Amino acid sequence: MFKATNTDVDTKPSAGTYDGDLAATDPGARAGGGGQGPTGNVIDGVPCNTTMPNTYHVHAFVGVYVNGKELAVPDAIGMDHALGDMYDKYSGWYNEEIYATCFYHIHTHDASGLVHMETSQNAPITKPLFNLGQFFDLWGINVTASQFGPYSGTVTVYTSLNSATVPCHTTAQCEVGANQYRLWTESPRVMPLYSHEAIWIEVGTGNPDSAHLPGVAFAIQQ
């Protein structure tokens, strides 16, 4: 579990069930913490806007294993003062964080690992505009070769990069399979975030190799 002492409504009052961006004093946080807002507080060139621009709107997946156990990536990363889990009438999904004071252009609405990237920049959906380091910094998590937030151990990263079909129109096209993963050998911070890219971050031992990582099916076309 990733514990954060942010001010999301649904984090109260049960300590230890926090979500969203890490504060500087939280376990495993980077210096300065994550994207706590307010509006106008730019992190790594990513602003926090009161509405979500939709000119460029793509999605990636980030999953985490620690010593053989899959952990959920928190919801409300990249949201300031998220108002709690609600039903999203547009997507039909439950337990979604859909309201906040402001939204960074990289954020999560739920704990599925789906990362939303939305900006007013006019660019092809096949072009990556953000990187994994920006997501880490908005989350507020400290990442090194031997640490991932509060968890210690060798950090290994696998990615499908831009091997997915986008936009996709069938179930088969919208799924990233295990045969598409490759070991990332550079700093994970510089990894580009492509539409329908699937990323697995592993910490410690007993984790799946690339051939045995789960496939990822996207419910959206890009």
> Which ranges of 12-154 would DSSP assign to H, the alpha helix?
132-139
Total residues belonging to the chain = 222
Q: Residue 205: its pLDDT value, please?
A: 98
Question: Taking CA 167 as the corner, what is the angle to CA 164 and CA 169, rounded to the nearest 5 degrees?
Answer: 100
User: Which two structure tokens, joined as six digits, stand for 177?
Assistant: 């399979």
CB 154 within 8 A of CB 148: no
Q: Where are the domains of the chain?
A: 9-217
State pTM to two decimals: 0.92
For residues 163 and 151, what is the distance between their CA atoms, to the nearest angstrom? 30
Per-residue pLDDT, 164: 93
Per-residue pLDDT at 15: 46
State how beta strands 69-71 and 151-152 pair.
unpaired
139 contacts 24 by C-beta, under 8 angstroms: no
Spatial distance between the Cα atoms of 196 and 175, rounded to a whole number of angstroms? 9
Render each residue's pLDDT in the chain as its tens digit; 222 residues.
576 666 555 544 444 445 578 888 888 989 888 886 666 789 999 999 999 888 999 999 999 999 999 999 988 899 888 877 776 676 776 678 888 889 999 999 988 999 999 999 999 999 999 999 999 999 999 999 999 999 999 999 999 999 999 999 998 899 999 999 999 999 999 999 999 999 999 999 999 999 999 999 998 899
